[in-house]
Amino acid sequence: MTFLKNCWYVAAWGAELDDQAVVARRILNLPVLLFRTADGQLSAFEDRCPHRLAPLSAGQRIGDAIRCGYHGMTFGPDGVCIDIPGQERIPAAARVRTFPIVSRHAHLWIWMGDAELADPQLIPNVPWPGLDGWTVSQGYTHFEADYRLLTDNLLDLSHESYLHESTIGNDATEAIADFPVQVTVEGERVVSAHREMLDIESPPFFQAMVESDGHIDRWQTALWTAPSVNMTNVRAKVAGAADETTRATRVLHLLTPETDTSTHYFWSLSRDFRVDDAALTDTIRDAIYSTFNEDKAMLESQQCALKEVGGDLPKIAIGVDDAPLRARRLLASLIEQEADKKVVIAPQQSLI
């Protein structure tokens, strides 16, 4: 598979790297080693020693350097070899490929393309978690599935009625797909799918959200921006209640391709209500793990089927595929443009 490379992907949560941690992670089919120096400098290496391609993650961290576990070559945070046991001369080629990496919005963002084009201004503006007045439940889930299947899933939330009936979905008598979806496209990189669901039964999560088991008014917008930044913007209130009683959540789904058929899924749900309720924060986090594990089982089964059948999904397009198909076409166009012209994605819009 060809990936869009001249853009920023999430490599890790910022909290994953303390001043001693070393994190090995595969991104866009390349092994990457991440660490932070004692003075806070971030470093991202290709996780291969330039000598015999031994994984540097199998070696040892020595202060702010990484020593290969095969022949002891040691590399500084800039990727340059600083020591070779048994010899004084260090060849100029004795260096590891490094990648630009930046800390922003509680995440570490990595640029896997042309390093000269790595402008931090191009990092998507996704200030959750960390925005004043909001509280976050966050986590990470690994999927053995193509990241585009995850985007399809996130842009078509009609599946909530069937896959997530016990948490965030209405049952089939008020199926989400029965409420009209408004799909819009902005430029070459943003797809939005919006639904309004008024005076409906309240699923379990929303009962906790509005603190009522009665009917609710629910607004839900799925947003995608190329190549793989997704957000679900959800608002709800007791049906017919005043607008100022509306409560909101922002669910970020930051997808980083690991391989052609596996994905790093960095997620967070930020809320603007009961912000000091630590027990609710934990409950929401646990519920999200359960919900996304339902997605994981479904998407991984689709990936297995694709391995047998080949091609892409959907095999038969129906109405709910409108937003996912639009996003797929935009992504394919951007990848083609990059291959032909080295196009860089324009600065991302704020998802506030």
Give residue 130's pLDDT.
73
Q: Say how far apart CA 82 and CA 104 lie, in whole Å.
A: 30
Give residue 171's pLDDT.
60
Reported CATH class of domain 8-121: mainly beta
Q: Which residue has the tokens 């046991």?
A: 85
CATH topology of domain 126-341: Naphthalene 1,2-dioxygenase Alpha Subunit; Chain A, domain 1 (3.90.380)
pTM above 0.85, yes or no: yes
Q: Using one digit for the tens of pLDDT, what is the confidence trace for 82-102?
A: 999 999 999 999 999 999 999
Q: Which residues are paired to 135 by β-bridges?
A: 271
**Dihedral sign (CA 305, 252, 117, 332):** positive
The 8-class DSSP code of residue 146 comes to -
List every span in the chain annotated with CATH 2.102.10.10. Answer: 8-121
Q: Using one digit for the tens of pLDDT, what is the confidence trace for 151-179?
A: 999 999 999 888 887 766 666 557 888 89
- Give residue 326's pLDDT band: very low, low, confident or very high (50, 70, 90): very high
Q: Say how far apart CA 45 and CA 341 lie, in whole Å.
A: 27
Q: Say how far apart CA 265 and CA 154 lie, in whole Å.
A: 12
- Give residue 254's pLDDT band: very low, low, confident or very high (50, 70, 90): very high
Mean pLDDT within 228-249: 95
Q: Using one digit for the tens of pLDDT, what is the confidence trace for 4-26?
A: 999 999 999 999 998 788 999 99
Give residue 169's pLDDT.
61
Mean pLDDT within 199-215: 90
How many beta carbons lie within 10 A of that of residue 171, not counting itself?
12
Give residue 349's pLDDT.
52
Q: Say how far apart CA 159 and CA 337 lie, in whole Å.
A: 32
Q: How far is CA 158 from CA 199, 281, 329, in A?
A: 17, 26, 21
Q: Say how far apart CA 313 and CA 304 lie, in whole Å.
A: 12
List every span in the chain annotated with CATH 3.90.380.10. Answer: 126-341
For helices 147-155 and 278-309, the axis angle rounded to 10 degrees is 120
Does position 261 have pLDDT exceeding 90, yes or no?
yes
Give residue 190's pLDDT.
93
How do beta strands 65-67 and 60-62 pair?
antiparallel
Does position 60 have pLDDT exceeding 60, yes or no?
yes
Lookup: tokens for 334: 């951007």
Q: Which residues are paired to 109 by β-bridges?
A: 10, 102
Give residue 14's pLDDT.
93
How many beta carbons lie within 10 A of that of residue 280, not counting itself?
17
Q: What is the mean pLDDT of the chain?
A: 92
- Give residue 352's pLDDT band: very low, low, confident or very high (50, 70, 90): very low
Q: Say how far apart CA 33 and CA 12 lie, in whole Å.
A: 11
